Amino acid sequence: MNVYDSERIAAMLEKHGLTQTENVADADIIILNTCAVRAKATDKVYSCLGRIRRAKKESALLGIVGCVARESGSDAFRRIPELNFVLGPQSYHKLPEIIKNPDIKLLNIDLGGLEKFDELPQMEKSPTVAYIPVQEGCNHCCTYCIVPYTRGRELSRPFDDVIADTVNAAKTGAIEICFLGQNVNGYKYTDEKGNLFRLSDLIRETAKLPEILRIRFTSSYPTEMTDDLINIFGTEPKLLPFLNMPIQSGSPRILKKMNRPNDLDAYKTIVQKLKNVRPDIQISSDFIVGFPDETDEDFAETLRIAREIKYINSYSFKYSPRPHTAAAIMPNQISEQIKSVRLQQLDAQLNENQREFNMSCIDKEMICLFEGNDKTGRNLVFRTPYMQQCIVEKPDHEITPLQKIKITDANKSCLHGEIIK
């Protein structure tokens, strides 16, 4: 989501005659696009602002946008007096106002709903992978999560607007579309005639675009995985056989406290249905360890489900208490030390899953998306349909964005392969 926002901010400022620089000391305007999901991300913003304010030109405008801006509000100006603007994730399209009037302090952390999408310019050149938001906000009140506060209630964008974005992305260079939403599979839009559109409709329509060769979406909420969406994995070959469907914990007791779906059998049934229509599908998850009151037994259930579902490409986090959330004031908060031990144990399991899956890919042929050169410049980096990195020696012939690659070797973190001509 933040990649999308940053791309649009850059495009918007380019329309106002600015160009991008990597060098803080050269910049006339410096913008930090920020994430508030865990305390560490928020802390990083302020330490980074401390460095930037010393390195920047005196005349340069400095500001923050995104969820930390919304969380901090005017307090951000108190903490960093050099700040010129503080704009929430739904008001960063107001950024040009500060260029027109650099003498004001611009604060806007309103929840403007979908308004920003009408104001943002279309991209003139798209990256190979185009991220396209289908909704803003989230209605699931997971008790640990700050997102419903920072991004507001869930709103699905009009079907035609999302399709207009995918068509533009296809025409300007995209090959892969990744639909985005905090609750992406809950996408629902009813037009004026009463027609209901769901994520499966967006996928079907996008798959008709000849330029688009791969489609994926993130992040899915387990109980919103409806049969129309499950079945499209079986009928639409452009949809990648990979699904991010976070479970967060393997303990029904903790899931209940998280206000998450806590019926593990129902979750496993969805996974099985997906495998029935797409036997090669792999699932990824996000996990939180050390949620308030999590016992060793609860955590053992998380390890068990990670092993059982054989999740790949997963993310694991120590629970981080956030302002405006119910879990932050729950009793029996877990010590940092226990959280660290549990995180290490879970990561060991997730790494083992990843290593096993990567090894199982050896000798297989996969159609992979070209991403760029590696650090040495001698190799090319590709992304497999399962989002693994695959490293290939640079060939002496031209390559196309999608290449068939034979996997020759693997380890826990990546694959190696050869291009098949």
Rg (CA), the chain: 22
Q: Is 183 in the site for ligand SF4 (CB under 6 A)?
A: yes
Q: Min. distance of Cβ 103 from ligand 5AD in angstroms?
A: 38
CA separation for the pair 396, 13 (Å, rounded): 39
Assigned token pair, 240: 């990648």
128 or 248, CB closer to ligand SF4? Answer: 248
Count, in order, helices (H) and strands (E) of the chain. 14, 20
Q: Is 326 in the site for ligand SF4 (CB under 6 A)?
A: no
Options 145-153, 344-352, 404-412, 413-421: segment touching ligand SF4 (CB under 6 A) = 145-153
Helical axes 227-235 vs 199-207, angle rounded to 10°: 20
Whole-angstrom distance between the N-terminal and C-terminal Cα of the chain? Answer: 36
Q: Min. distance of Cβ 338 from ligand SF4 in angstroms?
A: 22
Assigned token pair, 414: 């990546």
Options 152-160, 251-259, 315-323, 370-378: segment touching ligand 5AD (CB under 6 A) = 315-323
Options 86-94, 133-141, 302-310, 371-379: segment touching ligand SF4 (CB under 6 A) = 133-141
When binding is defined by CB under 6 A, the residue of 131, 159, 179, 317 that contacts ligand 5AD is 317
91 or 150, CB closer to ligand SF4? Answer: 150
Instruction: Decide which of ligand SF4, ligand 5AD, none touches 319; Cβ closer than 5 to 8 Å per partner kind.
Output: ligand 5AD
Instruction: Decide which of ligand 5AD, ligand SF4, none touches 317; Cβ closer than 5 to 8 Å per partner kind.
Output: ligand 5AD
Q: Min. distance of Cβ 34 from ligand 5AD in angstroms?
A: 15
Instruction: Measure Cα distances from 407 to 56, 214, 232, 367 in Å.
Output: 46, 20, 27, 10
Q: Is 142 in the site for ligand SF4 (CB under 6 A)?
A: yes
When binding is defined by CB under 6 A, the residue of 85, 117, 131, 144 that contacts ligand 5AD is 144
Using alpha carbons, select from 157, 75, 60, 61 the residue that is nearest to residue 109. 75
Q: Are strands 286-289 and 315-318 parallel, antiparallel or unpaired?
A: parallel
Chain residues 218-257 in contact with ligand SF4, contact rule CB under 6 A: 221
When binding is defined by CB under 6 A, the residue of 88, 112, 148, 417 that contacts ligand SF4 is 148
Q: Is 258 in the site for ligand 5AD (CB under 6 A)?
A: no
When binding is defined by CB under 6 A, the residue of 87, 147, 169, 289 that contacts ligand SF4 is 147
Instruction: Measure Cα distances from 13 to 19, 94, 99, 119, 339 in Å.
Output: 8, 11, 9, 13, 42
Per the rule left: phi > 0, alpha: psi between -120 and 50, beta: everything else, 96 is alpha
φ/ψ of 136, rounded to 5, equals -120, 150
Residues that bind ligand SF4 (CB under 6 A): 138, 140-142, 145, 147-148, 182-183, 221
